[in-house]
Amino acid sequence: MQALTPGPRTPARPIALVNARLIDPASGLDALGGVLIADGIVADLGPHIAAGTAGNAEIVDCGGRVLAPGFVDMMVFAGEPGHEHRETLATASRAAAAGGVTTIVCMPDTEPVIDDVALVDFIRRRARDTALVNVHPMAAMTKGLMGEEMAEIGLLRDAGAIAFGNGKTSLASAKVMRNVLAYAKDFGALIVHHLEDPTLAKDGVMNEGEVATRLGLRGIPSAAETIILERDIRLVELTGGRYHAGQISCRASLDIVRAAKQRGLPVTCGVSINHLTLNENDIGPYRTFFKMKPPLRSEDDRRAMVEGVASGDIDVIVSAHDPRGAEGKRRPFAEAADGAAGLETLLGAALRLYHNGDVPLPRLLQALTANPARLLGLESGRLARGAPADLVLIDLDAPWVVEPERLCSKSKNTPFDAARLQGRALLTLVAGRLVYIYAAEPGR
Amino acid sequence: MSIAAEAPTVSFSHRHLLGIEGLSRGEIVALLDLSEEAAKLSRQIAKKRDDLRGRTLINLFFEASTRTQSSFELAGKRLGADVMNMSIPTSSVQKGETLIDTAVTLNAMRPDILVVRHHAAGAVELLAQKVDCSVINAGDGSHEHPTQALLDALTIRRHKGRIEGLIVAICGDILHSRVARSNILLLNALGARVRVIAPSTLLASGIERLGVEVYSSMWEGLADADIVMMLRLQRERMTSSLVPSQREYFHFFGLDFEKLARAKPDALVMHPGPMNRGVEIDSNVADDARSVIREQVEMGVAVRMAVLQALARHLPN
What's the CA gap between A435 and A92, in Å, rounded? 13
Shortest Cα distance, chain B CAs vs residue A145, angstroms: 22
Q: Which residue of chain A has the CA closest to B18?
A: A285
Which chain A residues have a beta carbon less than 8 Å from that of B125? 285-286
Q: Where are the alpha helices (DSSP H) in A201-250?
A: 210-215, 223-239
Q: Which residue of chain B has the CA closest to A211?
A: B206
What's the CA gap between A195 and A164, in Å, rounded? 14
Shortest Cα distance, chain A CAs vs residue B81, angstroms: 29
Asked if B143 is an interface residue toward chain A (Cβ–Cβ < 8 A), one would say yes
What's the CA gap between B62 and B139, in Å, rounded? 10
B134-173 pLDDT tens trace = 999 999 999 999 999 999 999 999 999 999 999 999 999 9
Which chain B residues have a beta carbon less than 8 Å from that of A333? 120-122
From A226-240, B101-115, B243-257, the region with the lowest mean pLDDT: B101-115
Closest partner residue to B178 (CB to CB) among A216, A285, A334 is A216
pLDDT at A7: 52
Which position among B16, B55, B117, B232 bears the catalytic label?
B117
Closest partner residue to B121 (CB to CB) among A210, A217, A327 is A217
Asked if B120 is an interface residue toward chain A (Cβ–Cβ < 8 A), one would say yes
Q: What is the model's pTM? A: 0.93
Dihedral over Cα of B109, B114, B115, B119: its sign? positive
Q: Is B117 a catalytic residue?
A: yes
Which chain B residues have a beta carbon less than 8 Å from that of A210? 205-206, 209-210
Which chain A residues have a beta carbon less than 8 Å from that of B207? 213
Q: Which residue of chain A has the CA closest to B209?
A: A210
Which chain A residues have a beta carbon less than 8 Å from that of B120? 332-335
Shortest Cα distance, chain A CAs vs residue B299, angstroms: 25
DSSP reduced 3-state for A407: coil
pLDDT band at B99 (very low <50, low <70, confident <90, very high): confident
- Would you call A215 and B143 a contact, using CB atoms and an 8 Å cutoff? yes
Closest partner residue to A216 (CB to CB) among B97, B126, B143 is B143
B67-90 pLDDT tens trace = 999 999 999 999 999 999 988 876
pLDDT at B302: 98
Closest partner residue to A286 (CB to CB) among B21, B100, B125 is B125
ipTM: 0.91
Number of helices and strands in chain B (H, E) = 12, 9
- Would you call B140 and A216 a contact, using CB atoms and an 8 Å cutoff? yes
Shortest Cα distance, chain A CAs vs residue B178, angstroms: 7
On the question of pLDDT at B5 being above 80, the answer is no
pLDDT at B243: 94
Helices B146-160 and B293-312: crossing angle, nearest 10°? 120
* pLDDT, averaged across chain B: 92
pLDDT at A51: 87
Kind and range of the H or E element at B288? none
B258-272 pLDDT tens trace = 999 999 999 999 999
Phi/psi region, residue B315 (left: phi>0; alpha: psi -120 to 50; beta: rest), is: beta
- φ, ψ (nearest 5 deg) of residue A35: -130, 130
Asked if B130 is an interface residue toward chain A (Cβ–Cβ < 8 A), one would say no
What's the CA gap between A165 and A74, in Å, rounded? 11
Which chain A residues have a beta carbon less than 8 Å from that of B183? none
What's the CA gap between A102 and A393, in Å, rounded? 12
Selected residue of B88, B95, B98, B126 to mutate for chain A interface (largest A Cβ count, 10 A): B126
DSSP reduced 3-state for A141: coil
Using only C-alpha atoms, chain A has a radius of gyration, in whole angstroms, of 21
> By CB neighbour count within 10 A (0-12 exposed, 13-18 middle, 19+ buried), where does B235 fall?
exposed
Which position among B68, B102, B147, B155 bears the catalytic label?
B68
Closest partner residue to B207 (CB to CB) among A211, A213, A221 is A213
pLDDT in tens, chain A (444 residues): 444 555 545 566 899 999 999 999 999 999 999 999 999 999 999 999 998 887 889 999 999 999 999 999 999 999 999 999 999 999 999 999 999 999 999 999 999 999 999 999 999 999 999 999 999 999 999 999 999 999 999 999 999 999 999 999 999 999 999 999 999 999 999 999 999 999 999 999 999 999 999 999 999 999 999 999 999 999 999 999 999 999 999 999 999 999 999 999 999 999 999 999 999 999 999 999 999 999 999 999 999 999 999 999 999 999 999 999 988 999 999 999 999 999 999 999 999 999 999 999 999 999 999 999 999 999 999 999 999 999 999 999 999 999 999 999 999 999 999 999 999 999 999 999 999 999 865 444
What is the residue-wise DSSP string for A193-213?
E----TTTSTT--EESSHHHH
DSSP reduced 3-state for A418: coil
pLDDT at B94: 53
Which chain A residues have a beta carbon less than 8 Å from that of B121? 215-217, 286, 332-334
b/e burial code for range B72-83 (CB count within 10 A of at least 16 → b): bbbbbbbbebeb
Q: Is B14 a catalytic residue?
A: no
Which position among B25, B67, B251, B294 bears the catalytic label?
B67
For residue B213, which of B184, B172, B250 has the smallest C-alpha distance?
Answer: B184
- Would you call B118 and A209 a contact, using CB atoms and an 8 Å cutoff? no
What's the CA gap between A256 and A269, in Å, rounded? 11
On the question of pLDDT at B250 being above 50, the answer is yes
Q: Which residue of chain A has the CA closest to B184?
A: A214
What's the CA gap between B271 and B285, in Å, rounded? 11
B47-66 pLDDT tens trace = 999 999 999 999 999 988 88
Kind and range of the H or E element at B66? none
Which position among B78, B145, B237, B259 bears the catalytic label?
B145
CB within 8 Å of chain A, chain B residues 83-102? 93, 95-97, 99-100
Closest partner residue to A208 (CB to CB) among B125, B181, B205 is B205
Beta bridge partners of B171: B197, B230
Asked if B126 is an interface residue toward chain A (Cβ–Cβ < 8 A), one would say yes
DSSP reduced 3-state for A278: coil
Kind and range of the H or E element at A74? strand A71-76
Asked if B209 is an interface residue toward chain A (Cβ–Cβ < 8 A), one would say yes
Closest partner residue to B141 (CB to CB) among A213, A216, A221 is A216
HEC-encoded secondary structure of A16-69: EEEEEEEEECCCCEEEEEEEEEECCEEEEEECCCCCCCCCCCEEEECCCCEEEE
- Would you call A335 and B126 a contact, using CB atoms and an 8 Å cutoff? no
Asked if B78 is an interface residue toward chain A (Cβ–Cβ < 8 A), one would say no
Q: Is B247 a catalytic residue?
A: no
- Would you call A330 and B121 a contact, using CB atoms and an 8 Å cutoff? no
Shortest Cα distance, chain A CAs vs residue B179, angstroms: 11
Closest partner residue to B205 (CB to CB) among A213, A330, A335 is A213
